[in-house]
Structures are given as structure tokens and as C-alpha cells.
Amino acid sequence: MPTANPFHLSPPPAWFLKDLFAYDPKLVIFASAAEPVYRLCRRISGAFPWAKFPPGHADNQTCCDNSLVPLKAIQPVGTQWGQVIIANLAACDTQRHGGGTRFAELLEEQEELEARRLDASIASEAEARAGTAYRSIGYVSGSRVSLGTRTPEGAGYVKNPFAPRPTRPKRVHRPRASGDHAIFVGR
């Protein structure tokens, strides 16, 4: 849609306008007269469009004269015309999702799902911390012994740091079927 273009923005390519029309024939894009952006708007019928911009904004008059409701501002810097803009538009287009009420319900459902995920992760973290605390209390009180840790000698020091460390004997691997775990029940 041709409008006053004080920022000399180049018009969108024709192929993009065809894709935009194929996506939704009521969508209109024009260069803003107030800011160096493109305005993406939807044509409405049967109602007078309300002013969505602040009073005195240059784009209010264009929207009211052409029965447009502004949806999105598109920055011209680094604009890649095509499916990226249309995909982003689909995510925020209230009419595509069944109107404002349905869109609000979808947002509330997403927020509720995110809250449930957060509650589940908090509960999982609390359960893990409670288990760790319970085991730590057992270690401190002496009612639980960990066989996987070595007990330190003294208060964290080695008596002779230059003494050779004792080597552990190599473990011989025996398959389970070799009788290593058998129980003798004599006669």
C-alpha cells in the first residue's frame, strides 16, 4: 500500500507480497510515516478501527482511513522477506487462533503448563536434596557408613607426603557363572 515514506524504505519484493496474500488476503504492509519500520496491518470490515497508536501518531490516520488494525512492526534492517516473517506472524496473529478470547485462553494454557513443569522440577530437586540431607545426617551420626570413600588420616594431611603410596592388589575378574557367588550348603 503506497503511503508517505519519509525514511525512503524500499518496497517489499513482489514475491513476498504474493506469499503474504496467499497466507491471508486481508493483510496489508506499508512503510510507516512516523518510524523507520514497516507496518503490518489487517483490513477489517463492519466496525470502525480504533486508534492503537498514541494520539497524534502519523500512522493512526492511515489505519483509520483504510480500516486497518496494526498487528506488527517489521524492522527494515536485516529484513529477510519470506517464510520467517510469515511464521512469526502466525505465532502472534490472534485471528488465526480464533480471536482474542481464544488466544487469551491459549496463552493461559501455556502459562499453566509452564507452571506445572516448574512445580515438577522444584519437587524433583527438593526430593533429591532431602535424600542427600538424610544420607549426610546418617554419615555424621555414624549410623550409615559409606564403603565407596576412603577415611582421611588426621585432619586432611598425609603423614609423609614423600612415602610411596600403597598399591592395591589387582582384582581378578571372574565371570558370575564360575561359582564365585555360590553358596555351600554342606551335608
**How does pLDDT run across 21-36, given as a tens digit for each residue?**
998 899 999 999 988 9
Residue-level pLDDT at 167: 74
* pLDDT (tens digit per residue) in 136-155: 898 888 888 766 656 555 55
- Angle made by CA atoms 62, 64, 67, in degrees to the nearest 5: 105
| Cβ burial, residue 119 (10 Å; 0-12/13-18/19+) | exposed
Residue-level pLDDT at 51: 62
Q: State if pTM tops 0.75.
A: no
Average pLDDT of the residues in 28-56:
83
Residue with grid cell 506499508, as numbered in its chain: 30
Local structure of residue 178 (DSSP, 8 states): G
Residue-level pLDDT at 48: 65
Residue-level pLDDT at 74: 87
Evaluate whether 49 touches 68 at the Cβ level (below 8 Å): yes
Local structure of residue 176 (DSSP, 8 states): G
What is the percent of the chain where pLDDT is above 90? Answer: 20
Residue-level pLDDT at 149: 59
Helix, strand, coil content of the chain in percent (nearest 5): 40, 10, 50
Return the amino acid letter for 75: Q
| Cβ burial, residue 30 (10 Å; 0-12/13-18/19+) | buried
Residue 113 CA to chain centroid, in angstroms? 13
Average per-residue pLDDT for the chain: 80
**In the structure, what pLDDT confidence band is assigned to residue 187 with cuts at 50, 70 and 90?**
low
* pLDDT (tens digit per residue) in 59-103: 888 888 888 888 888 887 666 777 778 778 777 777 777 888 888
Q: Sketch the domain layout of the chain as residue ranges.
A: 14-96, 98-142
> How many residues make up the chain in this entry?
187
